[in-house]
Structure formats: structure tokens, C-alpha cells
Amino acid sequence: MKSNVDGANLGESLKGKTGRRYWKSLEQLAGTPEFQKWVDDEFPHRSTLLKLDRRELLKFMGAGMMLAGLAASGCRKLPEHRVVPFIAGPEDYVPGKPVYYASIATMGGYATGVRVKTHEGRPIKLDGNPNHPASLGSLDARTQAQVLDLYDPDRLRMPTYKGDPAAWSEFFAKAGAKLEELAPNGGSGVVLVTQMVGSPTLHSQIQNFLFRHPAAQWVQYEAASRRNMIEGAAMALSPVTESHFRFDLAKVVVSLDSNVMMEGPAAARYQRDIMAGRDLGSGRTEMNRVYAVECAPTTLGVIADHRMPLRASLIPAFTRALAARLGVAGIGAAPAPAGVDENWLAAMARDLAANRGASVVVTGDHQPGTVHALVHAINEHLGNFGTTVVHTNPVLPKPTAEITALGTAVEQMKAGQVQMVLVLGGNPVYDSPADIDFKGGLDNVGFTAHLSMHDDETSGACQWRLPLSHFLEAWGDGRAFDGTASIQQPTILPLYDSKSEIEFFEALIGGAREGMEIVQDYWRGAMGEAGFDVRWHTALGDGVIAGTQLPAVQSQVLQGLGQAIAQMDDDVASGYEVVIQPDPTVFDGRFANNGWLQELPKPISNLTWDNSAQMNHDTALKLGVEIDKKYGFIPADREADMVHITVDGRTVEAAVYVNHGMADGVVLLHLGYGRTRGGKVLLPLRNKPEDHGGGFDAYRLFRSGKNPWMVVNGARFEMAGKTYPLANSQFHNTIDMTKVDSDREILEETTLSAFLSAEPVEHHENPTLYDEDMASGVIGKSNTSVEDMGWNDPNQYQWAMTIDLTLCTGCNACVVACQSENNIPTVGKYQVQRGREMHWIRIDRYYAGDGIGSEWPVNDPVIRLQPVTCMQCENAPCEPVCPVAATVHSKEGLNQMVYNRCVGTRYCSNNCPYKVRRFNFLNYGNHDDVPVKNLLNNPDVTVRGRGVMEKCTYCVQRINHARIEAKKRGDKIKDGEVTTACMDACPSRAIVFGNKSDETSRVSKLLHDKRSYKLLDHHLNTRPRTVYLSRVTNPNQEIEA
């Protein structure tokens, strides 16, 4: 504003005003019109176009451009989201505090109780449900890993029709029309293919459907079925029943090529019961005795007191010989098969006979029905029926897996007699026997649909691909191995536009009920209306429906069974035999897209990402596999040779893995690999099998004949002349390889009798060259022992762990539990090959034998396992070497890792004698490309970035959680209040964690057990807080001698 003030007009504005006036400026005082105009103008300093010169104009243009740019990027209107706060929050809901739900996971139709941990509505971890008979609080690796499947980015997200997105309503309209069309002739031409159905609700729905369409076919198929067991029961028992075992009552367990601790509906429970019988932790002085006769080492074989490798095809003969020794009626004299030590067999038989009513003989699902039948006869003869062997009516409504029916259905499909195929779950195109061309059948049907989590092989062959809900997203129900029923309750809304089988059927028959209503309606019918709500909620809370366990049924072995079996001819291998089994991790292939399970080292072999043709050293040599002859291993830097295995004109090319302890002449192949569709994890990366595994499709050898699990004769083998890189988490060259390796004193073991007669071991301080003060670093303070360094301040919690080597079976449940709890990433096959797997706990495997050098028995070595995790050394070698103090000791004895501070020199890892530290060589934990995976992360645990070291923390987040709870109570943390994830998961209860400054805690007592020893401590004075309890076996004196 130009000043227009002169003396003349000054005071103009004050004219005619009285009293004291205030003014701000002379212009105001003057009251000029210019001033008034200036006041009125909102932007008095603005330029006008007329005033602008060229330069000014350009400046403004420039500024305008810039602001336009700002507006485009920063000031755009963001999409509006409605945020509605809780007015009244859900009951007991505290953000940041996990909520637990009881539910079930189902495999093969049988339910296992799970406890789902959810954070802000996201399920993040599965634990066992302590109330559930199949779990008792622990959970096997496979079930735990299924929480990862929920967030699998490769899941099918919406229904598609011939590859184009479609709506559910469209599907049901079309399917309804089709059913309508076929209704006049009773639904003939409709084929339902399901997996084993154990859910009572689903079964009633299927029955309802079949009632409406009586001519429709329902085929139940699962590759890994218990067909042989059922066949054996049908052959032997009257009435035909299903049996389960009370291993907790058994003093002698004989396994005839079975692994009841890893396979079957009660694996975790059986492991608990068997290992409880071997637990010396609470002052027990008795152990059960386990004999394992098996074609390939299993977890049961590893813990067995006596293990004998024997061909799978010789097991029938062995079983007969055992029955003969025991005097089972009708068997007569049966010689032991060649290669079996007669004394061994006789001693085992005497042991069984001496423990009448307190023994169990079991056989595996892949052994033929005759073996199962004979085992029934043996158990009855031993008086085990009604004590250790419990009979019930079959748990599954339709217990058989109908391979024959599947074959017939496919024939009809090919013949054009089928108009509609609905495949509910499962993946029959991939996992049906090689001689049943399911895909060929589907191609000949006018209406095909597949309800599936993934767009897999079967989806690829169907017109309709329908997304199936994960069990954590849907209502359902199921029965445990003993018949106990549970409700499956969802813990999250479906992530995608998916339906459960129950919802699918409801919609298919035109119903409109929600999943919960359907299940509720069923159980209302089953339980009765009276008090239903209370019972329903109790069942949801408990995870089991009380009183639904099936009652024991008296069952007897048929007369004349012995004679019938004695007359049967076995199929005995003349050359090499092929044994096919479900994979220990990915099972029949259904978990092939699960990274946790793919990277989980398979028990004993420690292979990851692939299956293999496993055989013992001699068999491999005979086949022409190149092996270092002296030590019987393929050196770490050499790839595995490949072999062609041909059965009935179908060939599988597989990499050879030498699995010490297998029976001579047996080639073991696991199912579940060689998948071609259904996700990114299961496929070889960039079509380079060496990068991503993918394995070999053993289903090509899986036949629909009498016993699909074995190819006793007729398999041809030839070397492929190629090699394949297998990713093994542990190299083969192991203990006892050289003289000097043998006195590292890593594993300690003894026998029960030696243990009981041994004097209690005094625990000494390690010798030191310095006086105690010097050694403890407290110089100039006299009478200070190492104990007073603060390492063991009894006023603090002092955390410690014991791992009982007697109880560890190597089942890997702890590994997955740790991975799930601590946000541990998977790294992929190539990184595993490079030795960069991230698991914080690992199961070390050692072979041992009597000899040294070339004399050690490579074909039948002793196999020993040792779970190793951070030892939380009191005198930790990793701590002083870290240049930035990123790993430090807590007053409570934890060796802490401060991720934020870590610069990643890896010095700590080099200096760790246990090699338990894991380094993020790449950005393994980053899920930015698949954000859905971030939902799985445990919010209590930092996700580690690239270049950072990590390791076991003793689940410090759980300790802190318990500390908070205890402080709220104004109390100390009680024993058992903090459990680590590995401890929770362990079905054997081999891991005990607690506060060692509490003398009464379980861990304190175990630390003073005379079996306790500290790994490498006598070499290095690391003073580990994780203490091992040495392995005790209970060998039969007659065999030992």
C-alpha cells in the first residue's frame, strides 16, 4: 500500500469521537480511502496480471507448474474408508492380547484338537488342545504348519469357470439345473468324490444328498488311507471293529514296520503315551521296552531299545515266526526269515509272553491286511485285548477308502455314463493310483467342479474351480481316533470368496443356513434340545463334546484265522523291492505348497524340499551309485546320482539318498512330490529343479492293486547317468568317522540297569588355571565364586531348560512350533543347500557303531538324535566378540540378541561352538510381495531384516508376558507358567523349561538329575543353561548278552 498520509488528513478518523482512541498506524489515523480499500482487500499484496513483467510472469508460471505437481501427488483425494470404532468393545477383547480358541484340524477324516492363538482376529499359531484325546496339548509338525496354509498367497480366491471369474450363485444355479436334469433317473450320472469324511455333519449332508439322488455315486478316496488296517480287522475280528492302543499301559511295544508316532490319527497321542512310559524324569525307575522291526528308520525305530532293519516284504514271514514263537493257535512252526537272528526273535517273544496284557504289537498301514489280521491274533493271544488294545465301532461313518470304486467311477466316466463330477477337496488327478486315469475320466464329463484350496492338478482338469475354506475359516466338526467329537470353529472370516464343504452342500441342496447353523442344527439333533446352548458353548470352550467317546466293544479273533494265514503265500521279493510311504512332511502331497513343511528337515534323513529314492549303502553300491566307499556317504560337495525306477512300464526318475539303517534291498519312495500345479512353493523355481526342489512323483508307481504301498517284485532299476542336488540340512559325515571325533562327548547314553545302579554323579566346577576370582572377572574381591557373578543371582529368575534325550524322537514338532512362534522365515532350497536355513532349533542326527574307520556298520548303525538350540551359555562365547554389544546377557541368564543393534559381522556365529545362530543373509523375512503372509506374524516377536543375526531367545516374549501377569497378581512367576513354544509342542514332553533359582521347579530338579550333562562344557566352560539328560535305553538283557 502506498502511503497517502500527510499532516492535513491525519486525525481525520478521530474527528467527532470522544474518549481515548487507539490506532495502529498513521494510515488508520488518517482514515484514507486507500486504507479502507487495503483493509477490505483480502490479499492486499497480490500482484495483478497488469503489473507483471515478463520475468515475473515466468516465475509465476513456474511456481504454478510446481504447485500443480504438488497437488497431483500430495493433495489428491484419498479414497474414503469408513472407520467405525467400537462403542462397546467385544467382551474380554484387549488389543495386543492374544485370544485362544479351541478347534480341530482334520486329516484322513480324523480330528485332532487344536488351540488357535489369534491376535486381533488373525490366527497366528496352532497348539494342541490339552482336553483333546488325540493331542493332550501337543501337536505334530504337519498340523501346526497348517496355519501357514491359511495365508498361502497361492490359494484359490474366487470361483472360476473355465478360467474366467464366476460367482458362486452362477455355479449353484448351473449345478442345480444339472441336478434337476438328472433327477428323473435318481441322479444317475452324478459322482461325488470326497476325501475321507469324518465330520458327522458333513456325512449327514451327504446322506441327505444321496437320499435325494439315490443313484448318485459317492466315492471316498485318499491315497494315504488305512485300507490295510481295515482289511485286517475285517479278516480277523468279530465283530469287525476299529482298534486303538493304550500305550500308557504297555510295558513292551513291538512295532512291525509301523510308525504309530508319526502316522495315523493318534500319532501325537501315541508318542505321548509311549514316551511317557520311558520318562525317568520324575524319579521313575521303570521303562517300557520298544522293539522295532522296520524297513526304514522311523522315529519309533530311533527310540527303540532294539531295532532290526528288515525288508517290508519279509514282515509277514517275521510276524508268522513271532506268532509261532508265542504259540498263536494254528500257525504251527514258522521259520524266521533269512537274516533274522533267531535268538533275537525268541528273546523278544519271551519278553512279550512275560508281559501278558501289558504289551502292544502294532504294524504299519502299508503292511498287507494279513499282517494286520495276524497282529490282532497275537495281541489277543497275549491278553492285550481289553487292556492295551481297545476296540470300538469304526469312527468314520464310511471307513474305507474306495480305490476300486474310484476305478469303476473313472471307467464309467470314460464310457460317457457320467454327466456330473463334483470333487470336494482332495486332489485325485494327482494322487490317484497311476493305473486310474482320473484326468482322462474328467475330460469326458460335461460338468466337472473341484472344491479346493489351491488351483491344483485336479482343478486344472475341472471346469469349475471353487475355492475351499481353510479349517480356520469355517464351521465344522469331527471325531478323534477314539470317537470323541469336537466342533471346528472358525477364528477368522474367510479371506477369500470361499466355502467349506458343509456350506457347499447346504447351498447345493438349496439351503440358506450359515455354517454355524448347519453344525448347530446337526448337534441339536444329536444332543437333544435340552440344555443345548450350555452344552454347545461348553463344547466350544473345551474343544471336545463331553461323553462322545465311543464305548469299548468286545471283539474276538475269528477261529481258524491262524490256520488261514499260515497257509497263505507271501509275496517275497527276489530282487529289490520298492516301498512307498506318505512323506513325513508334505504327506500325500496336500502340504506341498507349505514352505514350513517343505523346509522342515525330514526326520532322520534331514532332507528338505525334495523326496528321494532312499536305500541303504549296500543297495546303493549294488545299483551302481557312486559312493565314497570308505565312509559310505556322498560327500557334501557331490550331487546325488539319479536312478530310474520302472514299474508296469511307468518310470520315476529320482535322486538317490543313502539312508543308513534301511533294510538291504529296499528302495523307499515318499509320496507328495513331483507336483505340477497348485502354487509357487511346490513348483521348481524358474523350472530349474535344482533351485527349488519339487521332488519326484512316486504316484507313478502307486497302483490300485492289492497293496499299493509295495512293489515287491517287478520293479526295474537303472542308473540315470544324471545327478541332482539334494538340499540336506545336515551333512552326512558324522560322528565316529575318525578316531579323534569319538571323544567329543556330545552324546551321553547309558542303559537303565547301569543307570539305576550308578552312583549319583557329583557336579564339579570345571578346572581352571586361574583362581576363581580371576576366572569370574571379579578381581580383588575375595571369596567370590563363579556362581556369584550375577549369572546365578538367586533373587532373580534364572531361566534354564532341560532336554531329555531319552524322550526325543526327532518328530520335528518343536521346529515348526518355534518357526511359528518366532516368525522364522523359510529360505528356499538353494539357500538350504548353501547352509542358510533359519530354524532356531534343529535335530542333530548322529550315527554310531562299534568300529571305527571303515569297520563301522554302515547298514545298521545306531541312530541318535539331539535337539540343539541356543544353550543360553552363562559364559557365552558369542557375547564378548560382538563389536557393538548386540548380544548381551540378562540378569536372568538369557543370552539376548538385540536385532536393532546388530550390524551383522557374524563373529558371534563363528564363535558359537553350538552353531545355533542364524544369519539373515538375504531379506528372508520380507513379505512385501505377498502382504497376506504378514498377517501370520506373531506381533510379540520382531521380524528380522536382512543382515541381522538371530537365534533362540527361550521365547522371551512369553517370559515377559508371564512377568506382566505375575506383576499384576503381585506375585512371582510360578513354575509352569512360562512354556517355550518347543516345550508346548513336544508330544514326548522331552523339553522342560523353568526358573532354576526356584528349587522346587521341575527344571531345577531335572538339572540335578544324575543324567544331566552340559554339551561341550567340559571343553569350553561355556556353562550352558540348556542341559541335556542323557539317553537311557532299556535293552533286553537276553539280547544284549
Binding flag, residue 731, other proteins (CB under 8 A): yes
Which of 438, 631 has the CB closer to other proteins? 631
169: amino acid identity, one letter:
S
The SS3 call for residue 162 is coil
Binding flag, residue 746, other proteins (CB under 8 A): yes
Work out whether the CA dihedral 814, 816, 820, 823 comes out positive or negative: positive
Binding flag, residue 1013, other proteins (CB under 8 A): no
User: Which position among 917, 1023, 1025, 1031 is part of the footprint of other proteins (CB under 8 A)?
Assistant: 917
Q: Nearest distance from residue 831's CB to other proteins, in Å?
A: 7
Backbone dihedral region of 555: left (phi > 0), alpha (psi from -120 to 50 degrees) or beta?
A: beta
User: How many residues at the interface with other proteins, by CB under 8 A?
Assistant: 65
User: Which position among 948, 981, 1003, 1006 is part of the footprint of other proteins (CB under 8 A)?
Assistant: 948
User: Which position among 497, 521, 741, 772 is part of the footprint of other proteins (CB under 8 A)?
Assistant: 741
Residue pair 404/398 in contact (Cβ under 8 Å)? The answer is no
Residue pair 735/690 in contact (Cβ under 8 Å)? The answer is no
- The site string for other proteins over 551-590 (x = CB under 8 A, - otherwise) reads ----------------------------------------
Q: How far apart are CA 339 and CA 776, in angstroms?
A: 58
Q: How far apart are CA 963 and CA 1036, in angstroms?
A: 47
Q: How far apart are CA 785 and CA 773, in angstroms?
A: 6
Strand pairing category for 447-452 and 420-424: parallel
User: Which position among 673, 914, 993, 1028 is part of the footprint of other proteins (CB under 8 A)?
Assistant: 914
Q: Nearest distance from residue 800's CB to other proteins, in Å?
A: 20
Binding flag, residue 631, other proteins (CB under 8 A): yes
Cell output for 282: 520324575
DSSP code at position 260: T
Q: Nearest distance from residue 933's CB to other proteins, in Å?
A: 19
Q: How does 933-942 read in b/e, with b if 16+ C-beta sit within 10 Å?
A: bebbbbebbb
Q: Nearest distance from residue 845's CB to other proteins, in Å?
A: 7
Q: Which of 7-15, 543-551, 732-740, 970-978 is the region at the interface with other proteins (rule: CB under 8 A)?
A: 732-740
Binding flag, residue 629, other proteins (CB under 8 A): no
Binding flag, residue 52, other proteins (CB under 8 A): no
Binding flag, residue 273, other proteins (CB under 8 A): no
User: Which position among 947, 966, 1002, 1010 is part of the footprint of other proteins (CB under 8 A)?
Assistant: 947
Q: How far apart are CA 883 and CA 898, in angstroms?
A: 13
| Cα separations in angstroms, 738 against 238, 389, 734, 853, 856 | 57, 46, 9, 6, 11
Binding flag, residue 1031, other proteins (CB under 8 A): no
Query: How many residues in the chain?
Result: 1041
Q: Which of 446-454, 465-473, 514-522, 942-950 is the region at the interface with other proteins (rule: CB under 8 A)?
A: 942-950
Binding flag, residue 907, other proteins (CB under 8 A): yes
Q: Which of 127-135, 372-380, 959-967, 1016-1024 is the region at the interface with other proteins (rule: CB under 8 A)?
A: 1016-1024
Which of 294, 950 has the CB closer to other proteins? 950
The SS3 call for residue 580 is strand
**24-28: long-range pairs with CB below 8 Å, 24+:** 27/1, 27/3
Q: How does 143-152 read in b/e, with b if 16+ C-beta sit within 10 Å?
A: bbbbbbbbbb
Residue 818: Cβ-neighbour burial (10 angstroms; 0-12, 13-18, 19+): buried
Which of 731, 770 has the CB closer to other proteins? 731
Binding flag, residue 617, other proteins (CB under 8 A): no
Residue pair 667/622 in contact (Cβ under 8 Å)? The answer is no
Binding flag, residue 913, other proteins (CB under 8 A): yes
User: Which position among 350, 535, 906, 1002 is part of the footprint of other proteins (CB under 8 A)?
Assistant: 906
DSSP H or E run through 802: strand 799-804
Q: Nearest distance from residue 336's CB to other proteins, in Å?
A: 36
Binding flag, residue 738, other proteins (CB under 8 A): yes
Sorted by sequence, the CB contacts under 8 Å of residue 507 that are 6+ apart come out as: 168, 172, 499
Alpha helices in 639-739 (DSSP H): 689-692
Q: Nearest distance from residue 846's CB to other proteins, in Å?
A: 7
Q: Nearest distance from residue 871's CB to other proteins, in Å?
A: 11
Which of 896, 905 has the CB closer to other proteins? 905
Q: Which string of DSSP letters, residue by residue, matches 882-914?
A: -TT--EEE-TTS-EEE-GGG-----HHHHT-TT
Binding flag, residue 737, other proteins (CB under 8 A): yes
Q: Which of 371-379, 534-542, 788-796, 912-920 is the region at the interface with other proteins (rule: CB under 8 A)?
A: 912-920
Could you give the strand order of the β-sheet that contains 666-670, starting from the edge strand earlier in sequence? 710-711, 577-581, 666-670, 613-615, 650-658, 640-647, 715-724
Angle between helices 501-508 and 515-527 (to 10 degrees): 90
Which of 71, 903 has the CB closer to other proteins? 903
Q: Nearest distance from residue 911's CB to other proteins, in Å?
A: 5
Interacting residues with other proteins between 802 and 841 (CB under 8 A): 831, 834-837
Q: Which of 123-131, 445-453, 664-672, 917-925 is the region at the interface with other proteins (rule: CB under 8 A)?
A: 917-925
Binding flag, residue 405, other proteins (CB under 8 A): no
Cell output for 869: 538350540
User: Which position among 291, 919, 954, 1013 is part of the footprint of other proteins (CB under 8 A)?
Assistant: 919
Q: Nearest distance from residue 912's CB to other proteins, in Å?
A: 9
Q: Which of 53-61, 510-518, 710-718, 904-912 is the region at the interface with other proteins (rule: CB under 8 A)?
A: 904-912
Binding flag, residue 742, other proteins (CB under 8 A): yes
Of residues 66, 148, 146, 63, the one with CA closest to residue 106: 146
Which of 34, 741 has the CB closer to other proteins? 741
User: Which position among 130, 240, 921, 977 is part of the footprint of other proteins (CB under 8 A)?
Assistant: 921
Which of 385, 840 has the CB closer to other proteins? 840
Of residues 508, 406, 431, the one with CA closest to residue 464: 508
Which of 125, 845 has the CB closer to other proteins? 845
| Cα separations in angstroms, 301 against 280, 291, 343, 547, 576 | 20, 8, 20, 35, 22
Interacting residues with other proteins between 205 and 264 (CB under 8 A): none
Of residues 570, 927, 402, the one with CA closest to residue 410: 402
Q: Which of 90-98, 397-405, 921-929, 971-979 is the region at the interface with other proteins (rule: CB under 8 A)?
A: 921-929
Which of 274, 1015 has the CB closer to other proteins? 1015
User: How many CB atoms within 10 Å of residue 659?
Assistant: 23
Supply φ then ψ for residue 222, to 5 degrees: -145, 135
Cell output for 104: 480341530
Binding flag, residue 1016, other proteins (CB under 8 A): yes
User: Which position among 909, 934, 957, 1012 is part of the footprint of other proteins (CB under 8 A)?
Assistant: 909
Which of 38, 899 has the CB closer to other proteins? 899
Binding flag, residue 38, other proteins (CB under 8 A): no
Q: Which string of DSSP letters, residue by residue, matches 433-479?
A: -TTS-HHHHHTT-SEEEEEESB--HHHHHSSEEEEBPPTTSS-EEEE
Cell output for 853: 574307520
Interacting residues with other proteins between 865 and 894 (CB under 8 A): 866, 868, 877, 880-885
Which of 311, 617 has the CB closer to other proteins? 617
Which residues are near other proteins by CB under 8 A? 630-631, 635-637, 730-731, 733-735, 737-738, 740-744, 746, 831, 834-837, 842, 844-846, 866, 868, 877, 880-885, 901-907, 909-911, 913-915, 917-923, 945-949, 1015-1016, 1019-1020
